[in-house]
Amino acid sequence: MSLIQGSFPSFIMASDLYRIESYSFGKMLINGVEHLSDLVVSPNGVDASWWRKEGHRFSPEDLSNVDLDGIESVFIGTGQDGLMVVDPITKDLLTEKGIQFFIAKTAVAVDRFNDCEHSRKVGFFHLTC
């Protein structure tokens, strides 16, 4: 797992620790670092090695490498054209854990992730189709 972490001055709001600066097909810029593959953004950092078990399907197993304890919100970007499908069981699992989730095409999910003011959030982003 490739995790990018850092120390940040205390005057930076927690919700801005991992702010997504831009997204375009196949590219995401986070805190000045360009990423060219699907990724997870969490309070622990950016996991640029994330890949789903089944290509364009987001299943419960795809949550297994992320610590969801204390997480309030999950944002799932389904790609530029929205081709990634979120398994209903994944939605049920998040609901059972009391986690609010937002699923949309990646550009919209990025905006919602950035607009979320608390740091107890995780974003799963498919960067291409």
Q: pLDDT tens, 33-62? A: 999 999 999 998 999 998 898 989 999 999
Cβ atoms of 42 and 86 closer than 8 Å: no
Confidence of residue 89 (pLDDT cuts 50, 70, 90): very high
Of 39, 89, 37, nearest to 59 by C-alpha is: 89
Q: Domain 37-125: what homologous superfamily?
A: MTH938-like (3.40.1230.10)
Residue length, the chain?
Answer: 129
Q: pLDDT tens, 101-123? A: 999 999 999 999 999 988 899 99
3-class secondary-structure state, position 61? helix
pTM of the model: 0.87
Q: pLDDT tens, 69-84? A: 999 999 999 999 999 9
Distance CA 106, CA 26 (A): 11
Quickly tell me which residue has 């969801």 as its tokens: 68
